[in-house]
Amino acid sequence: MKNVLVIGASGDIGFAIAERLAEEGYQLILHYHTNRSGVEALREKVSRESILAVIQADLCKENDIRMFLTQLVFPVDMIVYVSGRAHFGLFQDTSEEIMNDMLTLHVKAPWLITKHLLPHMVQSQSGKIIFITSIWGDVGASNEVIYSSVKGAQNSFVKALAKEVAPSGISVNAISPGYVDTKMNSHLNEEEKHAILSDIPMNRAGSPTDVAHVVSFLLDHRSNYIQGEIIHLTGGW
């Protein structure tokens, strides 16, 4: 039975991923930042034996990251990075504080967490690391320059790390969703949502369960030969 660390388990996508993996018999270590109620709702939906630990941490803060690492007392066989937040606004209006927070949350925290957990994976000659990135990490978005930049950095990290750790039996991949119906997109009004949907050939938004299904596929040992890929989950957008 494999232990999976889900970073950002309380959001819509993280919740769907954790629920799916619990159903499939994985044991979960759940991270969240502020949405404690989301984690409690997850506890009520899955079997008690599925959740090994719940850890709260603000991964924008380096002290919290280091404290988080000390609380990882169970071995971690697989990591799913879901945690993230968008920032909307003109690039020239973006403060250095926001830039630092976005870089730490999306880039440095995954670096430090992965570095901490890799030795166990290398020793066991197995492991899975999955990032949930974004379509904007590929093509960029105006008014989301910082978010696009850090998601692009995640994509590059996946491609490079995959080559480095493949000889140790560790798979590293990413899922790059397009427009997914989550709270992160709640800032869009109905007209803006309609404009996006009209550009998507499948004529619908993606769902958190769509993402969870691809995570399940990548964690399966039969997917081991998929390495360093950014899987686009966009409905053809």
Domain boundaries, the chain: 3-233
CB atoms under 10 Å from CB of 176, counted, come to: 23
At residue 184, the pLDDT reads 67
Reduced to 3 states (helix: H, G, I; strand: E, B; else coil), residue 231 is: strand
Sheet with 127-132: list strands edge to edge. Answer: 51-56, 27-32, 3-7, 78-81, 127-132, 170-177, 230-233
At residue 187, the pLDDT reads 66
| pLDDT tens for the chain, residues 1 to 237 | 899 999 999 999 999 999 999 999 999 999 999 999 999 999 999 988 999 999 999 999 999 999 999 999 999 999 999 988 889 899 999 999 999 999 999 999 999 999 999 999 999 999 999 999 999 999 999 889 999 999 999 999 999 999 999 999 999 999 999 988 776 666 677 777 777 878 888 888 889 999 999 999 999 999 999 999 999 999 888
At residue 193, the pLDDT reads 76
At residue 70, the pLDDT reads 97
- Distance from chain centroid for Cα 24: 19
Q: Which of 208, 211, 218, 139 is nearest to 172 (CA)?
A: 218
Q: Which of 87, 83, 178 is nearest to 131 (CA)?
A: 83
At residue 197, the pLDDT reads 78
Which residues are catalytic, by number?
147
At residue 182, the pLDDT reads 76
CB atoms under 10 Å from CB of 39, counted, come to: 20
At residue 77, the pLDDT reads 98
At residue 126, the pLDDT reads 97
What is the chain's length? Answer: 237
Q: Does domain 3-233 have CATH number 3.40.50.720?
A: yes
